[in-house]
Structure 1
Amino acid sequence: MTSAAVAQSGVLTPLYRLLELWSQLLFALGDLTGLELLQYQFMHRAILVGLCIGVIAPLIGTFLVHRQLALIGDALAHTAFAGVAVGLFLNSVLELGVSPYLTAVVVAVIAALLIELISEVTDAYNDVSMAIVLSTGFALGTVLISINAGGLAVGVNQYLFGNLSTVSRENAVIMLVLFGVIATVVGVTRNQLLYVTFDETAAEVSGLSVAWYNRVMVMLTALVVVGAMQIMGVILVAAMLVVPVAGATQLSRSFTQSLLVAVVLSQLAIVLGITVAYYVGATAGGVIVLVAVAIYVAAVVLGKLQSVRAEGPAPDIGSIEAVDSEESGR
């Protein structure tokens, strides 16, 4: 069944209605504020997709950063590009009418499972399995694109670099579905994922299936990557899994606090990035990442200032405070 047939069947009707309500809200906001970018429906969809990314990317990225798997997003993004190429190839040769983002979901999830499988079967480190899958996926995508079956290479740039104007109603609905799946799974398995993240050995001793929850995490990462690829592009999508989380760790003292701060920083980067990209005519993904990096730098500076204030000024040598400190340390 094609994507259009699924939409016509009424299964996704509530989500399409939600999109219409969202557009009505932003039209009203645009009339109130006079902002030009709120006068176009394609921007409404781009903003909605961006806001969803601003939640699910740090939601998964916080786990990945603490597990030192920051590069897995990059590996899956390049593999998702192969999924896009598969979709374009099937549409060109067999005229299936399937969304390339749906084939990207399938291929990215398979790639995520392969990363775990290679690590388990060969005892290779995760970075080795990620490098193998990344190279294979991007090579496959390059080969399919280069075949040029019926103009296959046309429009590839939007998948490499992202494009605000190409977020269709169908792709926005796909993003909403992915958002619901990711948020639900994390909500249900949060405690188990947290346990596995910080102490795999203890989690395994307690009876948790560490391998299973590792697979869940990489599959969720694949879904985030495909969803974010619409406006971030393959090349930059991994940044939103890492940069806001890295900034949040500079300002937070607990995992939950880090997660919440990362969502706030991510939303700020995406809203500012989309706005700037629209008005200057730049690629949205690049602007969003630059804004996110600027926010990260600001977070690092703010975090250092907070640490200095918490520690207080060092006592002068020979002062009463210094002597007391020395005596208490003996």
Structure 2
Amino acid sequence: MLKSFAVRALAPAAYALLALGLMAGPSAAAGRETAAKTLFGAKKLPAALQSDSIGSYAKGCLAGAVALPLTGPTWQVVHPARNRNWGNPRLIAFLEKFSREAAAKDGWRGLLVGDISQPRGGPMVDGHASHQIGLDADIWLTPMPNRVLSTRERNNIEFDSMVQAKNHLELDRSHWSNAQARLIMRAASEPEVQRIFVHPPIKRELCRIWKGDRSILGKVRPYWHHDAHMHVRLRCPPGDDKCKPQAKIPPGDGCGKQLAWWFTDEPWRPAKPSAKPATPHYTTLADLPVACRAVLQAPAVSSRGAAIYRGSADATPSLASAEESVASVPVPRPRPDMR
């Protein structure tokens, strides 16, 4: 398992101590009053704990995160200013391996990797409901350029949508090709991948053209607002006992009624106004697994460089010091479940 020998002494005893508030950090009262997204968004470095994905994909946190290096031979991280290139070591290892295989076997020049997770996971201030436990990654469907992008370019990059501007339920053939199809299906073929979310017409096209194993096609799930990227989700890693698995995908290739629903008016129809205004609700620390308090309060690693994934089994943050190397698609109302 991808666990760190250097920080094992902190677990599991540290979880218990930190959860009881015996180490420095926000009080339980403050956690209940403050939005969890504010607390986790303020953390710039991961917790110096054994790597662990805690809770569910949309309600959890991440201990012992490691960072995907900003630049690799077959990938580049975009939007680095968001500080969301952190993940479970299993996911970071997967992304590096997948990028190499896509380049070598499919001719995909390289991955442009977007949001993964925050340094300690948890809810985000904007952009995602999931991505909380370091097992989700956004991979853009535009190939990496054949040069290293500058920081300014990465933070301001705009991506081509794979769907038509005037009809978001039809593909834009000037951007979409079989290269994108091969990339998505290569990811779906990986055993550790549980789900991949794409915009509905992308799924429909895969249903039409895919001649390989149809069983893995069921992993590709249609979901709104995934027209320029695919959202790859890994299964709970072995040994991460606090990770809550998602329900299994329905049997079959997913090309029947569950896909056809997206091409009706129902998912895109505006919600009826409520007679009584809804009470605003936000997730607090008390809503998350108890162990997330320990993750939030734990001491940080010494530097960003200390938590860069190095491609070894000992991938969790160590305590050693080091320096880091260098669309407008309609939204359905109400939002359907990500199944």
Same-fold call, TM > 0.5?
A: no
Looking at CA atoms only, which structure, 1 or 2, has the larger radius of gyration?
1
Higher fraction of helix: 1
Scaled to the shorter chain, the TM-score interval is: under 0.3
